[in-house]
Structure 1
Amino acid sequence: MSAIAAPRLSLLHALLASLTLSAAALTAAVAPVRASATQAPAPDAARLPRPFPVLPVLPFSDPTTACALRFGASQEWAASPLAKPAQLLASCGTEAAAGNLDARAIYGQMMLFGYAMPPSDTGLAMLQQSAADGSRSAQRVVGSLYRDGTRVPKDYAAARRWLTLSADQGDGLAAELLGLMDYTGQGGAVDYASAYGEFVRAANHGSSHSASNAGQILFDGRAGVPRDVAGGVTWFIQGATRGDADGAFLLGMALLRGTGLKRDVQNAAGWINIAATRGHLEAHAVLADMYVAGAGVPRDEKKGFALMAYAASRGSVYAQRRLGELYAGGTGTARHLALARTWHRKAALEGDATARFQLAVEYRLGIGGPKDLDAAIGWMRGAAQAGLAAAQNDLGTMLQRGEGEPRNLDEARQWYQRASDQGLGIAAFNLASLADAGLGMPKDPALAFRLAHTGAERGDPQATLMIGRMLFTGDGVPVDKAQALVWYRKAADLGNVDGARQAGWQYMYGVGVPRDAVLGQRYLESAARAGNAQAQTILGLYLLERQADGGKDANHDAAETDGKAWLVKAVAQNFAPAYTAMGTVYSKGQGMPPDQPTAIKWFTRGAESNDLASQRVLCLAYANGTGVARNPELAQRWCRAAAQAGDLFAMRRLAVGIADTTPERDSSYWQWRIASRGDAVYQSMLGDSYDLGRGVPADFNAAVYWFRLAAEQGNVSAQSSLAWHLFTGLGSERNDREALAWANRAADTGSAAAMAMVGEAYLRGWGVPADVGVARGWLEKAAAAGSGEAASDLANLYEIGNGVPRNDALALGWHRKAAALGSNAGSIALALRAEAAGDVHALDGRSMQWLAVAADPGAMGTTSGSHASASNDATESGLASWAALSSLNEALQGDTLRQYEIGMRYLLGDGVMRDTALGDAWLQRAQAGFAAEPHHAMYADAVRTVEQRVSGALSADERERARRVAVNLLATVPSRAVGTGAYRS
């Protein structure tokens, strides 16, 4: 009994895993009529034999009984044609009861799947018993049930065990199923060698399809099975001659292609036709192609179309796609683009990559229906993911242009690369274009040239043109203008109009080759007459220059030699550079008097048409007032447009700001754009923006990242800033040694701030043993270079006599210089000295603010030190916050002047949130620190006076809170003798 139909292998699909056994197929093989489990039992069902409580002790096999013959070999004569299903069931039951293994296997299936009775699991028990008793057909059926999980849990190990028993008894179908399990990895790893062996065994047991399967593995070659095309064809012949449709088709295809045997198109057509008559759908489709092309059969497009329609309507995916192509081309039928799209959609939904690509093109261009870019890119992506090179390239193009999805240069590059890896010339050109422009990948002209050369070798005219351009400009390759012309002419010979334009321009102006105006003009006119707007623009400008020089070409009539007429033609095509050319003509007065207002109008049209040259011209013109009234807003507009198109000059103008019209967030954005290209100056500038929260949220980690990139390229400002961050541990883990290394590098190039940091490092022993003498040397250099903080540190050294003779007069001088250089520490020291001496009348307003002279601290003004301001302006606010953070950092490390400064900042809300109690607490901490240093008694007295003045303006609750906070600060924050590395608690 052949209860289980063997799955099929196909050359066009080659997916055995998708060919699985279904319970429906099993039942259909058992009987022509199936009783539903929900149907009422047959009238005589109650009289049908039931499973036996005790099976015969000695079962026997007899395949000649009526039941075995009818169901085992599909012989209808074994029973009366008028026999009803119930009668047939009863007959098989009787034979099974007599102990016939063949009948018992059949009867077990009848019961299990409900043949003329409700389905019953008792049939499974009968099948399993029959299998155990040695029925090879029962063993195969039980193995198949476990393989597919039909009425039993799926169990590949059990399936293999039963199928092996059956196959070992010579059952070809069981061997074929084992081969399929090995091929698809069911119940274990994929094992092509074992699958091949099982298929061979099945073929030797009479399975024609297994012969075809074995041939396909051998023909293609798999792991463990070396490729043997001739051997594979031998198996195809065996399968074909034994009646297997796949074998006939595979043999026909081998003959058609001349693979494994001599090519014989007519014989191929015969075998493919045999496969078609055996119901092979793909054979119908291939035969249809042969009729359309007249290959091996008389050409008959209508018959080819009919065969293709037959296969397509019955589910052949290949035929569905080809039918769409036949409709699109009007081959064998009337042209019908809408039906073409319909059939392409059917094939695409079934996974045909080429159909997906064709459907994507139809949606993209609006062929056969509405244009739909969303659908287009979806289908294009599907085709690309399936590995179709043309689709991968076109998907890259859509992503680069932003069609159907937002522009994504990085992903576009990846798809171009996949297509180029498959040998597609235009994809190599697209990759070369990205590399040349630095779009979606770092700019790499050398790589661009190599990629363009690859595309040119594959016959792509655009890549050929690109090689000429790169040789001409020396972009990624040494300049060779003569060789560039050779490539331009090659491109022109391939039908590329741009190649003709470039060759014409080079000949006309004698660039890199002897000048030949006639030949140049001939090339340009050829391109211009073909409608190339760029050629028209170049030719127009050239002729206008000649007209301005009084020249005239006698070989052309007046209309053709009129340069302005050619420009008008280009303008009529809305060619943006033509607007720029017209602006240039009017600006320079070429062939006409200069006319700046008209020139500006033309440049504006060009800029509005996204011509980068016009945008740049207007950016500069309005920013500088060149030929037009200065207008920062228009300058900002056109600079931004040019910058967005990638113009680096415009980006730089926006990064630093145009007057006061560039918002800080825009400046920081353009800083990022340029910094991302590796420009150290703008990386450092962006780091400053992150430090100050200027146009971006303050982010010290981001600042350190950009400072480090710039510092590694030698940017002095970034080196100094990076050193500061590493010394303070803000935005990065503190690292005194690395900080000192960066500070030294910056100091060696004259950075005052870096020299001050090196001096302070030696003073405090940061990353190096403390050495006051070396520290003083660096601080003096820094002060001479303009560092107010270094001057303040020197004042403190002389004030306490640390490493130098104590000299208060010299210390006072350094404090004054520090204050003059903008140091808040210097200003505070002078103010406190004046307070201690009772001589505050000579102080300026800025110094008076440090003494909190107003009764209400909130009524006092704000400091205006080098970095501080209470302005609402974002930049001033950022600077104030930065200065406050710096002073707080120094205060926490024990600097008493900075403790005093941060206290005043909290009192004033200068760079920090206003908190008068916290401010007073810091003043108390500073007073205690000064009091601990004998040479700072005057500062201690002055701070005590100021603190009392501040405390008197506080409420009782604020004073109590200030006291508690001060106690905590005294216990946790150290104090340091100013200008030394010694700490006191």
Structure 2
Amino acid sequence: MAAGHLLAAGRPEEALTWYERAAADGRPKPLRWAATDLTRAGYRDEAVVWYARTAAAQRTPSAYRWAADRMVQADHLDQALVRYQHAADAGDSDALLVAGDRLVDADRLDEALQWYERTAQAGDLRALHWAARRLVTAGRADEALAWLERAAGLGDEEALSLVGDQLAEAGRLDEALAWYGRAADAGDVAALHAAGDRLADAGRLSDALSWYERAATRSGPRHLRRAGDRLAESARWDEALLCFERAAEYGDTEALRWAGNRLVAEGRLEEALVWFERAADHGDARALVPAGDRLAEEGRLDDALPWYEHAAAHGDANAMRKAAHELWRAARFLEAQLWFERAAADGSYEVLRWAADRLVMADRLDDALPWYERAAVKGDTNALQVAASQLAIAGRQEDALAWFWRAADAGVSLGSGWFPALRLGLLGDEADVLLRYGRDPAGRLAHKWQMDPESEE
């Protein structure tokens, strides 16, 4: 457009003449173009005039808001406020709130409060919350409280809890509790949790417990468990365990395991085991394997095994593998194999490879081969090439080739399976023939061959 080129050339007065000609028929689009181009070229003051003309030409809420937002960006806030008011008059219910925020951004909070007030008087209670938040940020907490109390008085239930928050932040906890109580009476269960947390933070744990218990009767016991955590952190164990107990009574069986974990962290393993057992009896078997692990870590493997057994009985498929692993670490290989067998019989076929690998690590390759075989039968065909590789490393080339043949027949990829062993020269000349020439239709090594140079011609 010619006007744009004139602007770029630093000839704004001539450009404006072209914009005027384009907008002569009253269409808003040229007005918008002019305003945008002027802003981009750095003529922000001139652009504001065209923003105003654009909004006046359309007279819609979105046009007024568009113009106002861009006037703010051009540092013409007072002119923008006029357009925000026009937008509100045209039906944009958020325009007054936005105007208030723009004034806050410009450090004109007292003027912003006037806009929030007008918004609230128009029936939008959000303005009372917004004003309160801005006042809190400005360090004017008492004024913020007055705005929230107004909102509560007008039936805004959320404001009741917010008043409690503001009073608690100001160190006026007992007053805050009264507001949390009003919020709870109005149906805000979260206010009970908030009150409990505030009391716990203040070290008034016994009082906090009563609020958590009220919450538990209405929304579930998880905050009783939270109270138990806080009490445990303060080494008030009798009260902490009582909280976990009460949470369990309200149906939170996980609280029993939670208590056990807390006791373990405190080094009170024997007591923890009682809680883990109770958790399992209530259907939470997740505590059983960790209990076994704790005992194994302390060198009490024989005490750990019944816990793994108990977990397996509750359907934890990982328990038998864990028991086998701990037995293997203790060099109790025969017992470990029995647990591996049980895990495999229960459908955990991945333990077959795992057991085979451990036997190899213990220099018991011949004992490992049947486990690789069983893993392959259960669908883990890669076990065949692993076995072949181990045989090759052990210098048993003939046996290794037999297993590599089987791996190939089972569809194991040459590149991912036996090729590395071949490339490393672990299988001798016969392997090189296999790699270069493959097998014949009968499955035997193919004869060496080469293309006749004359055949290419």
TM-score (structure 1 length as normaliser): 0.18
Higher relative contact order (CA 8 A, sep 6+): 2
Q: Choose between structure 1 and 2: higher helix proportion.
A: 2
- The structure with the larger Rg is 1
